[in-house]
């Protein structure tokens, strides 16, 4: 079985698992009778919910007195103590990001990236969100390579992991940001400022995309 077949199989397993997880969640939320064939799954789901609540309680006790949580994050619908703790852990100290664009680059939420290769030996291959002058890859001895760049390819799109390349973004933070964005989607516009902002930005993006498509068709 090659790598693509393995990835496809893993994708199918995740989809199947997700389907049954949704059924279990529905049974718990709506207090429905539990079919015997998925009783164990529902039991595990209940235990996970209890565990998540315990974790949320513990995390809230750790962040509740921090000004960024007390006066800002706790006021945002859709961002609870778990998301807040994740943001604080990943982004502290915040002053290392001079601009918003540098923060987005750190998370990998950019629309362009660079695939590069250095001059050392066979060459380290890596992906960054901005061009670099020397190789940032850490070697086995723990030192940064620092060799000059042999070639760089500028690519439009969201940076993603590729076989043979070291990816220089915070993937855990990017996943967290996606989850936060998804939470805003489920909010009501009249109650959530960030849901309204999400709708406005989405409409702007779609209008911009439509304009590009029309321009391309006119050629």
Q: Which residues span the domain enclosing 120?
A: 109-170
DSSP state of 35: P
The residue whose two tokens read 């629309």 is 111
Helices 171-185, 193-218: axis angle to 10 degrees equals 100
Q: pLDDT per residue over 15-47, tens digit each?
A: 666 777 788 888 888 888 988 888 888 899 899
pLDDT at 202: 84
User: Mean pLDDT, the chain, as a whole number?
Assistant: 86
Residue 135 belongs to a domain: yes
3-state percent helix, strand, coil for the chain, nearest multiple of 5 = 55, 10, 30
If one counts the domains in the chain, the total is 1
H helix intervals, 30-150 = 39-63, 67-70, 81-91, 100-107
Tell me if 45 sits within 8 A of 25, measured CB to CB: yes
Residue 89 belongs to a domain: no
Residue 161 belongs to a domain: yes
pLDDT at 219: 55
Residue 30 belongs to a domain: no
Per-residue pLDDT of the chain (219 residues; tens, 9 = 90+): 555 565 666 667 566 667 777 888 888 888 889 888 888 888 998 998 899 899 989 999 999 999 999 999 988 888 888 999 999 999 999 999 999 888 988 998 888 999 999 999 889 999 999 999 999 999 999 999 999 999 999 999 889 999 999 999 999 999 999 898 888 888 888 888 888 888 888 888 888 877 766 665 555
Residue 29 belongs to a domain: no
Task: Give 124-143 as a DSSP string.
Answer: -EEEESS--SB---B-TTS-
pLDDT at 215: 60
What the block records as the tokens of 29 is 């939320």
């Amino acid at each position: 079985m090659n790598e693509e077949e393995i990835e496809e199989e893993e994708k199918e397993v995740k989809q199947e698992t997700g389907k049954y997880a949704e059924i279990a969640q529905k049974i718990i939320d709506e207090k429905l009778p539990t079919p015997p064939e998925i009783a164990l799954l529902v039991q595990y789901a209940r235990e996970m919910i209890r565990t998540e609540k315990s974790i949320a309680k513990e995390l809230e006790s750790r962040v509740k007195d921090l000004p960024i949580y007390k006066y800002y994050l706790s006021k945002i619908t859709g961002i609870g103590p778990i998301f807040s703790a994740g943001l604080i852990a990943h982004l502290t100290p915040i002053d290392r990001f001079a601009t918003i664009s540098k923060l987005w680059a750190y998370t990998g939420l950019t629309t362009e990236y660079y695939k590069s290769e250095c001059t050392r030996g066979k060459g380290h291959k890596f992906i960054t969100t901005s061009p670099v002058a020397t190789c940032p890859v850490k070697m086995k001895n723990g030192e940064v390579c620092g060799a000059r760049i042999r070639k760089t390819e500028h690519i439009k799109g969201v940076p993603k992991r590729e076989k043979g390349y070291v990816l220089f973004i915070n993937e855990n933070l990017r996943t967290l940001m996606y989850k936060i964005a998804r939470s805003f989607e489920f909010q009501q516009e009249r109650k959530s400022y960030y849901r309204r902002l999400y709708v406005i930005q989405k409409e702007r993006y779609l209008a911009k995309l439509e304009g590009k498509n029309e321009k391309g068709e006119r050629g």
